[in-house]
Structure 1
Amino acid sequence: MSEDIGPILKNWPYDPQNSIRKVIDPRGVEKIQVRVDQGAFQGVLQMELDGRPDGQKPYSQAFVLDYHKQQLQKHVGASGSPVGFSLDERACSEIFDESRRIYERYVFLLQIRDYNRVVRDTERNMDVFRFVNRYAERTEDRENLEKWWPYILRINAVARVMIATQQDEYDTALEIIGDTQTKISNLEGVQAEEFEIEKKRSRESLKELEDEILSKRPQSPAEKLKEELAQAVEDEDFERAAAIRDKIWELEEN
């Protein structure tokens, strides 16, 4: 069997607008591939869609985070309390590496509009943020991921909004945006430039998304009537305005 990937590269020329795809392996398992062009280097990156992106099972667990959570449970079972449990530098390094791999995957998943998996991966990484912040021994490890809260909240919200709009649930989408804006605004300050940049960028991005949703959301009967009422008043057609106002009252009473 030839190990030359030349035929793959030839059949999939590099195109920055079409550099990510899903494939199915001989076992029928979906994977994601990314076409790479770095000058003289041509290649294809591949990652698993489910489980760890690299397909590894550290400590015989689906994720290294699962292993360390299991260690916490054992500690609590033995001592009756989480007091005394901690993540040393090596444990944090393992968790950070896994978190980075998951981040890289959900960035690609967002591009191919696999929103359910984006929600799943961002929620897993938010779990990582909380776990490390609570149990890491070193201050630098506890604070390492905190600066990325605005970003991950935004990406999680965007994916959930896209799912909602695909189901024509525009009000749900707007609620998600509002709730996320509030969460980002209420985040405790972090002494990192990335935090302030991402906080500002995320709020602006979510506002733009909100405006887009509002422009696409079908008007309710009451909203249409209120628009007609405003036009009637502007035209000084007060008889028509009164009739429209009566219709609005009827709708609101029902």
Structure 2
Amino acid sequence: MEELHHHLRHLPGFLQAEIAAYVGDWSGMNYIEITDKHIHAVNHLINSKRAPLQPINIEYAHTLWGDQRSTKEDMEMSAHLRTLPSDGRMDLIAEARFFMESILFLENFKRSIEDLLTRLLELGRQHAERMAQEAAQRQAEEEARARAEAEEAARRLAEEQAAQQRAIESAFQLAQRQVEEAEHALALRNAEEARAKEAESNRAIEMTFGPEASREIDNAIKVLRGTIEIAITDFSNTISAHGAFDMSQLEAIQNMSATH
């Protein structure tokens, strides 16, 4: 705002007042809007001051004053003199001169604030671009952070699932080992019980007959088997002489004796 006020202060007081009256209250407007409103005000004042100028009066003014330019103080004095009575012809020429010089002040002011507006618009564009870049960067950072959080959550979930799977496998392996150990222990116990029963049975036999009785029984069986074999041999010799049996029948009888 300081630059706009600086350019306004270069205008004669009455032009500042006319611009202010046209612009009105600018509260609530930003710097660009205020500057643009001043440009519209200047355009309006230039058009309004150029409209009553007559070519003849413009020519007389150039003849009288040439290229001489009025200062701010000159313009303020002219504004005061216009309120005083004077010759009518001179009033028209002076008025033409006054309007022409007012237009020059306004055009200079307009060029200055148009340049200001251009710079303000560029600054606004740069600010908007910077804000957009910052917003895009924040969004990218948020998306990157969200992706990182999602990846971390997925990694933790995968680790938890892997740990659960390992725990399940460990529990299954433990249960399997326990089953195998139980089966092995059961087999050992059954084998031990079988050995114990066999030993108990052997002890029962030994307790019933005794070692000496067992030997006597074995000897008696051997003697009986020998006697049976002799009897069968004698019988077979006698029968063979009469042709009563063939050799297959004789072998069957001998096999029977061998099993006893």
What band does the TM-score fall into relative to the shorter chain?
under 0.3
| Structure with the higher fraction of residues in helix conformation | 2
Task: Compute the TM-score of the two structures, normalised by the length of structure 1.
Answer: 0.22
Larger radius of gyration: 2
Task: Compute the TM-score of the two structures, normalised by the length of structure 2.
Answer: 0.22
| Structure with the higher fraction of residues in strand conformation | 1
The answer to which structure, 1 or 2, has the higher relative contact order (CA under 8 A, 6+ apart) is: 2
